[in-house]
Copies of this chain bind each other. A is one copy, B any other.
Amino acid sequence: MASEVFEPVGKRTVATISRQSLHGEIVTRLRDMIIEGELQPGERIYENQLGEELGVSRTPLREALKFLASEGLVELVPSRGAVVKRFSAKDVEDMLIVIRSLEMLAGRLACVQASDEDIARIRQLHDAMVNHYSRGERLEYYKLNQQIHTGIVSLANSAPLAEVHGLLQSRVKRIRFIGHEGAERWAGAVAEHERIIGALEARDAETLARELDTHLVNGWERVKSVV
């Protein structure tokens, strides 16, 4: 048995580093590196080199790569290691079709499941996003945009739904981020968002689903050219 209860089951973590296992940290680290483009699609991953760069040995790094391979962010070529997965335009389009379907489902469920406070929180995010829009702050706008979509999905109160949505979302994140839209299209996107929030507040499931549908279709049109 543990000798003395110095701290209650380690709830107060000092450096927060040793809380999660090392491979877990590497997973999130690498995921970010891939999403942010630090590791580019098609790039081969050399375990020794990357491990040294991250200051870890090959074992936990390899475990992290297996995890990311299952997530679909890297590809494992037998006897030839890991490569950052590259997606074709069709892949991205197919992903967005599925994401669209998932968000429509999420919207319908959210209209039933969400509490008034939940919806109010989304509204707050939306208002903040509009402020960033009016100031032309693209990065902040983008981040809140993501948060709103993820937020609606989480309102559906369905862990599997949130999971598969997040899975696909992480793959297209990088591409969407790249896609910088012109002023008039940007304005259109904001208007669509306004209607989305309105439908959610009215708990009008079908309208919400329809608005999400058109919004995501238009979103694809907006970034299509850059893929």
A159 at the interface (CB under 8 A from B): yes
1/0 contact string of A63-102 vs chain B (CB within 8 Å): 1101111111000101100000000000100110110011
1/0 contact string of A151-166 vs chain B (CB within 8 Å): 0000000111101100
Question: Which of A15-23, A126-134, A140-148 lies on the face that meets chain B?
Answer: A15-23
Closest to A72 in B: B163
Chain B residues with CB under 8 A of A71? 70
The residue from B62, B63, B159 contacting A91, defined by CB atoms under 8 A apart? B159
Q: How many copies does the complex hold?
A: 2
Does A19 contact B78, Cβ atoms closer than 8 Å? Answer: yes
Q: For the complex, what is the distance from the CA of A97 to the CA of B105, rounded to whole Å?
A: 9
Does B160 contact A95, Cβ atoms closer than 8 Å? Answer: yes
A167 at the interface (CB under 8 A from B): yes
Does A66 contact B160, Cβ atoms closer than 8 Å? Answer: no
**Contact of A168 with B164 at beta-carbon distance under 8 Å, contacts A19-B78, A64-B66 already known:** yes
Interface centre among A20, A64, A98 (most CB of B within 10 A): A98
**Contact of A21 with B167 at beta-carbon distance under 8 Å, contacts A59-B59, A63-B62, A98-B105 already known:** no
1/0 contact string of A97-111 vs chain B (CB within 8 Å): 110011001000100
Interface centre among A68, A72, A101 (most CB of B within 10 A): A101
Q: For the complex, what is the distance from the CA of A79 to the CA of B23, rounded to whole Å?
A: 12
Chain B residues with CB under 8 A of A72? 163
1/0 contact string of A39-69 vs chain B (CB within 8 Å): 0000000000000000000010011101111
Does A97 contact B66, Cβ atoms closer than 8 Å? Answer: no
- Which 5 pairs of residues, A with B, have the shortest CB-CB distance? A70-B70, A94-B158, A101-B105, A95-B160, A63-B66
Distance in Å: Cβ of A41 to nearest Cβ of chain B? 16
The residue from B20, B67, B109, B158 contacting A70, defined by CB atoms under 8 A apart? B67
Does B160 contact A98, Cβ atoms closer than 8 Å? Answer: yes
Q: For the complex, what is the distance from the CA of A87 to the CA of B151, rounded to whole Å?
A: 24
Chain B residues with CB under 8 A of A91? 159-160
Q: For the complex, what is the distance from the CA of A102 to the CA of B100, rounded to whole Å?
A: 11
